[in-house]
Structure 1
Amino acid sequence: MTHTSFHIALLLLLSSMQWLGSSLASNPLHHSASVGKVPAIISSDPTITSLSKRPVLQPKETVPPKIECTLKNPQGKVCVRASLGVEYVVRENKKNYYFNLNPGALQVTGYCGSQKSIFSLDFDGGHLEFTFIKEGDVSYVSTVKALLRPVAPCKNCQNKTYVGVVSNDKLFKAKNGQSFQCKSQTTLIMASYFRVKLVPLQIQAFDLVNGAFGKEVECWDDYNKRMIPIILGAVAAAICLVAILTYVLVRERRTQGYEQL
């Protein structure tokens, strides 16, 4: 056993640890709202006709139901497909309150374009709107707008409209004909007092073949959850290998020393 073998094993260990660190550092956990931006309320928002239908905020968080929906152009062709769970989180009086979108109470609106499409989930009391952009061989969400007009969550709370926007970002990017998928939770920070959680999420605009999702593009959270156990296993194996090589190398040196005596 030579010094070269020992150095190669040590180099493999350091490379694995560096890969793990860079993978974790590049993981975007949250998407923040643009500073100083006030989202415009689009004209397609449904009119609230009954205050009794306004969203009721809950003091405890629950798993949102999955929503399966599509947006079609006037010719009946699907231009946007989405599968997602949506949870609104608002902060009032230093407490968090929650509201989950109900698939049975939603209306899908928007429009289909060749380079830009708008996809909106509308309900009595608010909406969630995505703006898709097609740029070259990729597509992404450039803007997310959210609005919520809930019943006041507490006796001392006033009726408020919570509104926020995430813009100037390339969210959920995928190559044309592919869908973006994230089984882990995605948190959109719409404002300091307002967040939207998406879990799980699969979404695609443009180039849907027969209206179906294309090949999935994995988000960083899912990638790290899948790869970290593999990387840690490789690091553990490398550590064991280094320990074995060190033991063998030390033993050989001692043996050579005894032979010289």
Structure 2
Amino acid sequence: MGGWSLIFLAIISGVYLQRNDSSVQPASDSEPPSEAQVYRPILQPSEAIPPIGTYVLENKDGKCYIKTTLGAEFIVIEKKRWYFSLDPSRVTATGYCGRSSAVLSLTLPDNSASLQFTFVKDKKVFYVSKLTVKLTTPVCKECANKNYSGVMDHEKLFKTANGQSFNCKSENLFLTSSQLWIKLVPLQMQAFSLSKGQYGKEVECWADFNKRVIPIVIGATVVGILLIALLTYLMVKDRRRQGYDRL
């Protein structure tokens, strides 16, 4: 009887353990991810200064082939303007490097947003020939996800001599489609030829040049006008003192 009692208690304990274990079921691989697991950009109603990130792409030899430092802001047009800044901590930099062409893609998780530069090396210069922008996001909390995309192709953006870097602290705003703009500020980039992974001699963009030179030109012009006015006043005053000669 003692043996049968022990067997009976063991069976009851096993059933109890099985019931407890079945209360937590492992997630099935076939189940779709929940909304909390999917990253989606959140649009903002007002503009902000985008955070700055530095992104590097190396070739097979481990040599730095593309390097860019930038802040990027997506601008969505839906009755009004909505804004989203690229978060460098979430960006994955991918692409490829060739002798005369290269691609750098900056992508957010779940392909929710991406910014792609296509570089071309033409003799002694390099430039961005294609700029591709994509963004997947709802405009409001209750709205469904919407895909926005735009492209600028057959361009010669940020043209710079090989071995030098394009540098622009001013705002670069590009219309890629009727509903999607991209703003890059600041921006520094170099492709194909980087010495020890460092930027080469900086080439100033026209916007920065104008901001720096125009105030100097205006100031010099104002000073010149004031000097002319002062000299004219002194000459007229001197003539009045001399008076007229008698006949």
* Alignment TM class, shorter chain as reference: 0.7 to 0.9
Distance change (3 Å), C-alpha of 1:165 and 1:260: farther
Amino acid at match of 1:97: W
After superposition, the Cα gap between the structure-2 partners of 1:256 and 1:213, relative to the gap in structure 1 and judged at 3 Å, is same
Moved over 3 A (4+): 155-158, 251-257
Match of 2:148 in 1: 162
1:191 aligns with 2:177: yes
1:254 Cα deviation after fit: 4.1
The answer to whether residue 69 in structure 2 is matched with residue 91 in structure 1 is no
User: Are 2:87 and 1:102 aligned?
Assistant: yes
Q: Distance in 2 between matches of 1:235 and 1:69?
A: 43
Question: What is the one-letter code of the residue matched to 2:130?
Answer: T
Between the aligned partners of 1:121 and 1:156, the Cα distance in structure 2 is 28
Which residue type is aligned with residue 231 of structure 1?
A: V
SS of the residue 1:210 aligns to: coil
The alpha-carbon deviation at position 251 of structure 1 amounts to 3.5
Higher relative contact order (CA 8 A, sep 6+): 1
1:39 equivalent in structure 2: none
Structure 1 gap ranges (5+): 1-48
* SS in structure 1 of the partner of residue 221 of structure 2: helix
Match of 1:132 among 96, 119, 135: 119
Letter aligned with residue 178 of structure 1: Q
CA RMSD of aligned residues (A): 1.9
Residue 142, structure 1, aligned to residue 129, structure 2: yes
The DSSP-based 3-state class of the residue aligned with 1:98 is: strand
Q: TM-score, normalised by structure 1?
A: 0.75
Distance 1:54 1:176, change over 3 A: same
Superposed, 1:171-210 pairs within 5 Å as 171-210=157-196
Q: Which residue does the alignment assign to 2:97?
A: 112
Q: Which residue identity lines up with residue 121 of structure 1 in the other structure?
A: L
What is the CA–CA distance in structure 2 between the aligned matches of 1:162 and 1:184, rounded to whole Å?
25
Aligned counterpart, 1:236: 222
| Distance change (3 Å), C-alpha of 1:177 and 1:259 | farther
Classify the secondary structure of the residue corresponding to 2:199. Answer: coil
Q: Secondary structure at the match of 2:193?
A: coil
Aligned to 1:13: none
Cα pair distance change 1:86/1:62, threshold 3 Å: same
- Say how many residue pairs are matched: 211
The residue aligned with 2:10 is none
Distance, in Å, in 1 between the alignment partners of 2:84 and 2:41 is: 7
Distance in 2 between residues matched to 1:156 and 1:68, nearest whole Å: 35
Q: Secondary structure at the match of 1:53?
A: coil
- TM-score w.r.t. length of structure 2: 0.80
Match of 1:7 in 2: none
* Deviations, residues 187-240 of structure 1 (Å, cap 9, x unaligned): 111112110111111011011111110111111121122112211110111111
Partner Cα separation in structure 2 for residue 107 and residue 221 of structure 1: 30
Give, in whole Å, the separation in 2 of the partners of 1:155 and 1:230: 50
2:128 alignment partner, SS class: strand
Q: Deviations over 1:97-136 (max 9, x none)?
A: 1111111111111111111111110113021100111112
| Alpha-carbon shift at residue 157 of structure 1 (Å) | 4.5
Distance 1:62 1:255 in 2: 63
Call closer, same or farther: CA 1:50–1:202 in 2, change over 3 Å. Answer: farther
CA distance in 1 between counterparts of 2:142 and 2:57 reads 40
SS in 2 for 1:161: strand
- Change in 2 beyond 3 A, CA 1:50/1:110: farther
